Structure 1
Amino acid sequence: MTQRLYRVLFILCLLLTACGPLIPTPGEAPKRYTLSHLEENNRAPVIPRQLIIEVPTAAVSLDSVRVAVVPAPQQINYYADMEWSDRLPALVQESIVYSLQNQHLFRSVTRSSDGVIPDQSLKIDIRKFYIDQTGIPTAQAEYFIRLMDVGTRHEVASKTFTASIPLRGEVTSELIAAALDRANRQIIEDLQGWLSRHH
């Protein structure tokens, strides 16, 4: 009986080590992370229109400062030793705004709260943004994005963007944050090409 108990505890320890700490360490504050954005591109604006990026929507489980992990199908948990610097939708909005501003694809790119009357708007629904532990640990991101004509209120185009970044080596908070950031950047790079074709 004792050997069986030790075996179960050993397996649990291996699982927790593989997916990062889910139990907080007493006295330690969670590390805070943000999302980066694409670097400056000095080209002239390609699309002579004003675009606003609305605050993304997300499920309750993702609309949080907590960093999500899926340890098994239909389960969701959160890392205890790390968190986002703001709620995830706000970070995604900021990352997309700064990236598209730096790329100079549109005449102007602003947030929906900036008071600018735009020509087009982006509506974003964050469907996935977590570490998937059901197999090889992988950062999963999925955004459903709609480009809208503000004047007519008609949808110009829509697409589901996905990115999967496998985690290599020991799973630490730094590796988790970096993989999720790479997934977000990959989607933004794909989004930029898509916008250039559907404006």
Structure 2
Amino acid sequence: MPMSSRLAPESGFTPIAALVLAVSLTLSGCGGGPTPTTYDLSAPRDFGRIGGARATLVINEPTTVQTLDSDRMIVRDSGGALSFLGGTQWADRIPKLVQTRLIQTFENGSRIASVSRPGERIVPDLQLNTDIRSFNIDAATNTAVVEITVKLVGDRTGHIQRARLFSARVPVGAVDGAAAAHALDQALSKVLIDIVRWAA
């Protein structure tokens, strides 16, 4: 016993630490089911070089309701109730993922002189503010629905220069992970291209 007491302070491994480690290992070994399949969204490339304004643009992270501010795939039933599609997840939170793909779409179309996120030490001419209204599978019509409102705001004046709602619907063959992710990606691509072309 004296030897154990003498070694404990030197090793830093106390009976309490051993108990915490044992509980942690037990919990990690009893994970709640299989790991969800992770899906990503793409930034369109096949719409050609658009050209356009020499403005600098900052794209803020989209706002949205709490349910969509997650990495889960959402299904809306015929009664309007929202639920998560089991066994699936996005590569990031939906607003963060949409922001990243929107920036990349602007870059792919060479649509703007400079496009960036907030905090990248760029003084912008304009800010692009977006709100994700819908990003889900509509089970009643078997369609992927994406709706995003967009506002172009003068950075120095704060005045809204232009505003518009963009939306797209794409049929989905089955309400499962792969089909739903593919349909939502197609719908988002249509919306992203429309936004980039609109932001003249």
CA distance in 2, matches of 1:110, 1:104: 13
**Deviations along 1:163-189, whole A, 9 cap, x unmatched?**
100113x44311110100111100011
Equivalent residue, structure 2, for 1:128: 134
Contact residue 45 and residue 107 of structure 1 kept, 8 A: no
1:84 matched to 2:90 = yes
CA distance in 2, matches of 1:160, 1:130: 16
Aligned partner letter, 1:93: Q
Q: Residue 43 and residue 179 in structure 1: after superposition, are their counterparts in 2 closer, same or farther (change >3 A)?
A: closer
1:80-159 equivalence runs, <5 A: 80-134=86-140, 136-159=141-164
Instruction: For structure 2, list consecutive stretches of 5 or more residues without a partner in the other structure.
Output: 1-31
TM-score, length-normalised on structure 2? 0.80
Cα distance, 1:152 vs structure 2? 0.9
1:48-87 equivalence runs, <5 A: 48-87=54-93
Equivalent residue, structure 1, for 2:180: 176
- Residue 115 of structure 1 aligns to a residue whose secondary structure is coil
- Residue 188 of structure 1 aligns to a residue whose secondary structure is helix
Q: Residue 117 and residue 161 in structure 1: after superposition, are their counterparts in 2 closer, same or farther (change >3 A)?
A: same
TM-score, length-normalised on structure 1? 0.80
CA distance in 1, matches of 2:166, 2:46: 23
Cα distance, 1:44 vs structure 2? 8.3
**Stretches (4+) displaced over 3 A:** 40-45
Equivalent residue, structure 1, for 2:19: none
Q: How many residues align?
A: 169
Which has the larger Rg?
Answer: 2
CA distance in 2, matches of 1:43, 1:67: 32
1:195 matched to 2:182 = no
Equivalent residue, structure 1, for 2:169: 164
**Deviations along 1:6-32, whole A, 9 cap, x unmatched?**
xxxxxxxxxxxxxxxxxxxx7321111
Aligned partner letter, 1:96: L
CA distance in 1, matches of 2:72, 2:125: 34
Contact residue 41 and residue 104 of structure 1 kept, 8 A: no
Aligned partner letter, 1:146: K
Equivalent residue, structure 2, for 1:6: none
Q: Residue 52 and residue 62 in structure 1: after superposition, are their counterparts in 2 closer, same or farther (change >3 A)?
A: same
- Residue 161 of structure 1 aligns to a residue whose secondary structure is strand
